Amino acid sequence: MNLFDFLNSYAGMYLVQSFVHSLITAIVVDRAINAWRIVNPLVIQRFRLLVILLPVLSFPLFQWMHPERGAVDFRLRALFDSARWLNLELFGALSVHLLFVGLLLIAGLVFLVQELIPLVRHTFLSKRSAVPRTPADEHAHVARALEDLPGEKPAVYLMDDDAFTVLSTTGSDSAIFLSTGLLEVLSPSQLQAAIAHEMAHIQRSKRPLLVIVYLFRILMFLNPVVLLEFRRIAQEEENICDDMAVSMTRNPRALADTLRNVYGTQRDPAPAGRGKLAAVNEALEDYSHRLLIEKRINRLTEARSDGAPKRGRLGWVLTAAAVSVINYFVV
């Protein structure tokens, strides 16, 4: 069986159609968000989840509804026939289906290197070695920050480190970790904003929907559209936690200043012996990360009204229905 024959098998059609369906869903979702002027990050995230959830289920569901969807008769009446495009050759030499498979392999490699391996390594190392830590309850600023924050308080620990670090762990032993270097540069209100943001992450991690979404993301690890959309969803998650932190502290300026202090002044030295390509890649990632931080800061400092629109839920249902109808006629 050659590569093109594989793409026309059931497994191959699943790969091809899930990619095309996710691309169409991403386009429709973006248009819907713009058309309804949705700015609430929680609502935007719900819309973007369609790009990951629907393509996983659409192909088997459509095939169950109409087993002859892959037949020539249906393809002739379809809105888009992927087999015709995959069979084309560019410049009479390079087949489109080879480019498509190469794109899938690149997306899978990026998922493996940038997501799966770091996750496995972090899990393995966290089980083997405990992070040196001391309870932060006796620190005056930390105690005051926790006292004024509503809801259940997680454990807070200090790490003896000059770097500006604030992070949280989730699960049954959820906790917040602060570096001593960070405590030296943050004001009491900024420290409270940082803790509130991490508390929001801990609260959000208890939602089973996010776990289900990540499992679907793993199933679609070869899909480059899902790769990009999952990162946009992760960015909306940061915006959601920013909003939750502001609702706890009533001080968006403090959180914006915290982001500037944590990410705006710290520069990690480049490791010695790195090649030019690795250095360029690291510089691009650093630049992209800082752009995202600046967007979060601007969002916190600008006057805005981003309450969930009344038609947000109806819009989500209409968008999901429109995408499903369109994708049914895309094979």
Distance CA(323)–CA(117), nearest Å, equals 33
At residue 119, the pLDDT reads 79
pLDDT band, very low/low/confident/very high, at 266 (cuts 50, 70, 90):
low
Q: With a cut of 70, say whether residue 305 has pLDDT above it.
A: no
Which residues are CB-neighbours of 82 under 8 A, at least 6 positions away? 16, 17, 20, 330, 331
At residue 103, the pLDDT reads 94
At residue 284, the pLDDT reads 65
Contact call for residues 238 and 296 (beta carbons, < 8 A)? yes
Distance CA(223)–CA(111), nearest Å, equals 10
At residue 282, the pLDDT reads 65
Give residue-wise pLDDT tens across range 76-113: 899 999 988 888 888 777 889 899 999 999 999 999 99
* Inter-CA distances, 41 with 165, 176, 186, Å: 25, 24, 27
Distance CA(265)–CA(173), nearest Å, equals 31
Distance CA(150)–CA(138), nearest Å, equals 19
Contact call for residues 5 and 13 (beta carbons, < 8 A)? no
User: Regarding beta strands 155-159 and 175-179, do their DSSP bridges make them parallel or antiparallel, or are they unpaired?
Assistant: parallel
261/108: higher pLDDT = 108
DSSP 195-261: HHHHHHHHHHHT-HHHHHHHHHHHHTTT-HHHHHHHHHHHHHHHHHHHHHHHHHHS-HHHHHHHHII
